[in-house]
């Protein structure tokens, strides 16, 4: 049996195991990827896409989810600030496969805990807090690498901003408006809904 056939059968089993609500979630994530994320060329937009998916599911379908802010790691003790969505303890991560800077270090897309390997070439672990080793690595790199020091400072500010943004529905809505304005891409919540409905 070829790999394509095995993957197809695995996907069919995954889909057959879904609840009706999960089928809606899966459909929405596929539309978001195919009609917005890929055409817009989004990379490194884990905060935006996680919050966006949360708001679409809540506002348009009445489905509750949680935006989780933490870190991902590929085994080198350098932790990267990251956001993903959780629904009934199942993970959705649409951006690990689409990093901003290190495009040669891609994790898989994850939908309801199902791993879509896609173009990924590594696996990430997910963390709510940095480990002692990660904190020590930060200190080590800060001492010798000015670029790392500056990048970490920027990411720490972003992380704190998202922590505030996910505190309430109003704050998440405001963050999405800020993304459209700051990125100057015009993709407000309502505009994205129009794109998804086509």
Q: Tell me which of 2-11, 84-93, 130-139 is least confident.
A: 2-11
Q: Which helix (H) or strand (E) element contains residue 127? A: strand 125-127
User: Stretch 141-161: mean pLDDT, rounded?
Assistant: 95
**DSSP string covering 48-112, please?**
HHHHHHHHHHHHHH----EEEEEEEE-SSS--EEEEEEEETTEEEBSSTTS-SS-TTS---EEET
What pLDDT is recorded for position 120? 76
Give the residue carrying structure tokens 């009609």. Answer: 35
The DSSP code for 129 is S
> Does pLDDT of 183 surpass 80?
no
Sign of torsion, CA 123 96 196 64?
positive
The pTM for the full model equals: 0.92
pLDDT surpassing 80 at residue 105: no
How deeply is 91 buried, as exposed, middle or buried, from its count of CB atoms within 10 A (0-12, 13-18, 19+)? middle
Tokens for 88, please give them.
Answer: 């009934």
Question: Taking 70 as the threshold, does the pLDDT of residue 152 lie above it?
Answer: yes
**Which residues, 6+ apart, have CB-to-CB distance to 58 below 8 Å?**
64, 65, 169
pLDDT of residue 197: 93
Residue 59 has pLDDT above 90, yes or no: yes
Digit-coded pLDDT (tens) for 130-146: 999 999 999 999 999 99
What's the alpha-carbon Rg for the chain, to the nearest Å? Answer: 17
Give me the mean pLDDT over the 148-169 stretch: 95
What average pLDDT does the structure give for the chain? 92
Task: Please indicate whether residue 43 or residue 22 has the higher confidence score (pLDDT).
Answer: 22
% of the chain exceeding 70 in pLDDT: 97
In 3D space, the residue among 37, 126, 19, 25 whose CA is nearest the CA of residue 83 turns out to be 126
Check: CB of residue 196 under 8 Å from CB of residue 35: yes
Q: pLDDT over 90 for what percent of the chain?
A: 74
């Amino acid at each position: 049996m070829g790999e394509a056939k095995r993957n197809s059968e695995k996907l069919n089993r995954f889909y057959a195991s879904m609840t009706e609500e999960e089928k809606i979630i899966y459909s929405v994530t596929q539309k978001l990827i195919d009609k917005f994320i890929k055409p817009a060329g989004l990379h490194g937009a884990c905060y935006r896409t996680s919050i966006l998916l949360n708001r679409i599911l809540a506002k348009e379908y009445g489905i509750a989810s949680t935006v989780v802010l933490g870190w991902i790691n590929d085994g080198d003790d350098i932790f990267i600030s990251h956001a993903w969505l959780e629904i009934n303890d199942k993970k959705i991560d649409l951006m690990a496969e689409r990093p901003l800077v290190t495009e040669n270090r891609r994790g898989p897309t994850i939908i309801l805990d199902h791993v879509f390997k896609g173009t990924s070439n590594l696996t990430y672990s997910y963390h709510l807090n940095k480990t002692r080793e990660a904190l020590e690595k930060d200190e080590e790199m800060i001492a010798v690498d000015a670029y790392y020091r500056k990048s970490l400072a920027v990411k720490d500010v972003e992380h704190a901003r998202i922590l505030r943004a996910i505190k309430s529905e109003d704050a998440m809505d405001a963050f999405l408006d800020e993304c459209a304005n700051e990125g100057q891409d015009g993709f407000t919540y309502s505009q994205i809904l129009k794109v998804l409905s086509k």
